[in-house]
Amino acid sequence: MRKRFNITGSCNPQLHYMVNTENRFKAVRELIELGEYFTINRARQYGKTTMLDMIWNRLSDQYLVVPMSFEGVGSSAFESEEAFAEMFARLMSRHLVSMKQNVELIEIWQNPLVSSMDELSVLISDFCMKSPKPVVLTVDEVDKSCDNQLFLNFLGMLRNKYLGRNREGMESTFLSVVLAGVYDVKNMKLKIRTDAEKKYNSPWNIAADFNVDMTFHPEEIAQMLGDYEQDMHTGMDIKAVSEQIYKFTTGYPFLVSAICKYIDEQFDCVWNEESVVKAVKKLVEGGSTLMDDLSKNLENNADFREFMFSLSVNSSSYSFSLLNPMVNMGNMFSYIRNKDGRVVIHNLIFEEALFLYFTIDYAIKNNVRLAPFQSNYVINGRLNMEYVVTRFHDLMCEEYRDSTEPFIEKEGRLLFLTFLKPVINGTGFYYVEPQTRDNRRMDLVVTYGKEEFIIEMKIWRGEKYELRGRDQLADYLNTRGKTEGYLITFDFSKTPHHVEPQWIQHNDKRIFEVTI
C-alpha cells in the first residue's frame, strides 16, 4: 500500500507523506527533559495529536509516557470529584495494561478507594514513586474539558504537586504534563460564546510558554513533495509547486496537506499552478471541519465577527497585540497572524473564505439585486475585466442612483465583491495583498487563469484624493510588474460628479477609472 497525504487524525511516517518534524519534536523533547508542564495550543488540525504520538513513540524508552484523552468519557465523569477520580483511575489502568507495564503499577489503579482530588493526588504520588522511569502524562483534546470546574480542580491539584515537587518530604508527581488543545489553558478568559462564563484565574499558570513554530515552510513542503515524487515520478516542478502551495496557505498544516491530497487523489496527479488553484477553490467552498469551525466561530461571537469583517472586507489596520481579546482570539484560531507588527489574515484561503462568507451573508440579508452572468465577462477563456467593472458601474447606477440607504457607503466594497464572485466562480480567485493593508485603501488582486488584475477601491473625497489614489495604484502596479489597473471610486457626496468609465494614462500606467 502506497503512502497518502493525510488530513484526519494523527500522521504516521510509514503511511503518510509528511514534512520533517525533527526540529519541532526536538523543542518539545527539551521542554519535557526540563520537567516543564505546558500546553501545545494551536488551531484545529495543526499537528497537535501527531506531536503527542511522537512523544509516545520516541520517548517511551526513556520515560513512562501515559497518553490520555477525556473525550468520549461521558458527562457523568464530571459530576463529582469521586466520579472524576474513578474515571481517571480507570483510564490509567487501561493504558498501563495495554502498555504491558508491571503488575505493581497496574494494581495501584485497579479498584482504588478514591473519592476526592486529594485521594487521587495520593495515588498519583504512589504511582510516580514506584515507576522505574519518570512519568510523562499527555492529555489530548483538553478543549472538551476546560469548561468544567472539576477538570480545573484536577489541573489545580497538578499545579500544587508541581510547585511542591522540589521541597523536601513532598510527594512524587509527574515529571512533565503535556496538554493539547486549541485554547491556551493558561488563559481561560477566551470563550468563543460571548454569553459563556469567563474564568480568569487559570490553575495552569505554572505552564511554560509553547513557542514552537508548527507551520510548514516552503522548503519543508518541497521535502514532502520530493518524497512523493520519488514514489510517483510525476515530473512536477517541486520548487514551483511548493512555493505556490505556501503562497495560498502560509504553511497552515491542514491546508497544505489538503491541497496535496486533492491533487493526488482527485486531479489525476497533475501537479501545476492550475491544480493548486483548483484545490484551493474546493477548500474555500467548505465542507471540511476547519471551514465549518470558521463559520461557527463567526456566528457565535458578534464582536469577533465584526472584527474579522473590518479586517477582511474593509481592510482595516490593527496593531498586533494579544492584549486585545479579538486579536488574541483570531490568533488562537490561526485566522490571523503577525506581520511586521500588524494584523493580517493568516493565509489567502482564509481570505477568500471570509470574503465568500460575508458576501453571501450580505446578499441574503440585503436582498442584493445583481445582474446575471453574461458571456461577455469571459472571452476565449480570458476575463474581460474592463467589461466587468463597466457592468458593475452600470448596475450600481441603475439600482442605487436614487437610494438613500446608509449601508451603501459603508459596504460599497462588499457590493463589488458580491458582484464579482459569480463572475469568477470556479476559476478565479481574489484576495487583498497583506503588505498594502491600511485604513485608507483596498488593493484587490484578482486572478483568473494565469492573468492577474489589480483593482483599487476608494471613496470620493475630492480631486486631490483622487489623484493620490491614482498615484497609489500606479505605485502598486509597479510592485507587481503590471502596466494596467482598475480604479473604482464611490462618490457619496451630496453633489456627486459624473464621469463615464474611461482609460487614462497616469505615471506610465494605463488605469481604467469608473466613478459610482
Residue-wise pLDDT for 447-457, tens only, equals 998 899 999 98
* 268 plus 172 within the same structural domain: no
Q: Where are the beta strands (DSSP E) in 124-254?
A: 135-140, 176-181
Quote the number of domains for the chain. 3
Q: Helix, strand or coil for residue 66?
A: strand
The percentage of the chain sitting over the pLDDT mark of 90, rounded to a whole number, equals 61
Q: Assess if residue 70 is contained within a domain.
A: yes
Q: Helix, strand or coil for residue 275?
A: helix
Which band of pLDDT confidence, cut at 50, 70 and 90, is reported for residue 439? very low
Q: Assess if residue 334 is contained within a domain.
A: no
What does the pLDDT look like over 150-187, one tens digit per residue?
888 999 999 999 998 877 666 799 999 999 998 777 66
Q: How far is CA 286 from the centre of its chain?
A: 14
Which band of pLDDT confidence, cut at 50, 70 and 90, is reported for residue 193? very low
The model's pTM:
0.88
- Cell numbers 450580505 correspond to 362
The bridge status of strand 502-506 relative to strand 509-515 is: antiparallel
* 168 plus 266 within the same structural domain: no
pLDDT the model gives residue 171 = 74
In this predicted structure, the answer to whether residue 196 has a pLDDT above a threshold of 80 is: no
* 138 plus 242 within the same structural domain: no
- Is 394 or 18 the better-scoring residue by pLDDT? 18
**Could you tell me the three cell numbers for 30?**
527539551
Half-sphere exposure of 368 (CA within 13 A, CB side): 25
Dist CA 324 CA 311 (whole Å):
14
Lowest mean pLDDT among 49-53, 115-119, 164-168, 234-238: 164-168
Q: Assess if residue 348 is contained within a domain.
A: no
* 394 plus 475 within the same structural domain: yes
pLDDT the model gives residue 169 = 62
Q: Taking the CB of residue 406, how many other CB atoms lie within 10 A of it?
A: 9
In this predicted structure, the answer to whether residue 138 has a pLDDT above a threshold of 70 is: yes
* 52 plus 163 within the same structural domain: yes
In this predicted structure, the answer to whether residue 487 has a pLDDT above a threshold of 80 is: yes
* 50 plus 142 within the same structural domain: yes
* 445 plus 512 within the same structural domain: yes
pLDDT the model gives residue 371 = 65
Highest-pLDDT range among 168-182, 231-245, 387-401, 499-513: 231-245
* 177 plus 227 within the same structural domain: no
List the Cα angle 308/281/483 in 5-degree steps: 80
* 170 plus 263 within the same structural domain: no
CATH of the domain at 87: 3.40.50.300
In this predicted structure, the answer to whether residue 68 has a pLDDT above a threshold of 70 is: yes
Q: Assess if residue 169 is contained within a domain.
A: yes
Q: Assess if residue 351 is contained within a domain.
A: no
End position of a domain, from candidates 152, 181, 210: 181
* 173 plus 59 within the same structural domain: yes
Highest-pLDDT range among 29-33, 392-396, 428-432: 29-33
End position of a domain, from candidates 128, 160, 181: 181
Which residues constitute the domain of residue 240? 222-285
How many residues are given for the chain? Answer: 516
Q: Assess if residue 192 is contained within a domain.
A: no
* 39 plus 94 within the same structural domain: yes
In this predicted structure, the answer to whether residue 440 has a pLDDT above a threshold of 60 is: no
Q: Assess if residue 104 is contained within a domain.
A: yes
Residue pair 24/212 in contact (Cβ under 8 Å)? The answer is: yes
In this predicted structure, the answer to whether residue 402 has a pLDDT above a threshold of 70 is: no
* 45 plus 164 within the same structural domain: yes
End position of a domain, from candidates 262, 285, 308: 285
In this predicted structure, the answer to whether residue 145 has a pLDDT above a threshold of 60 is: yes
- Is 367 or 294 the better-scoring residue by pLDDT? 294
Q: What's the rounded mean pLDDT across residues 274-298?
A: 93
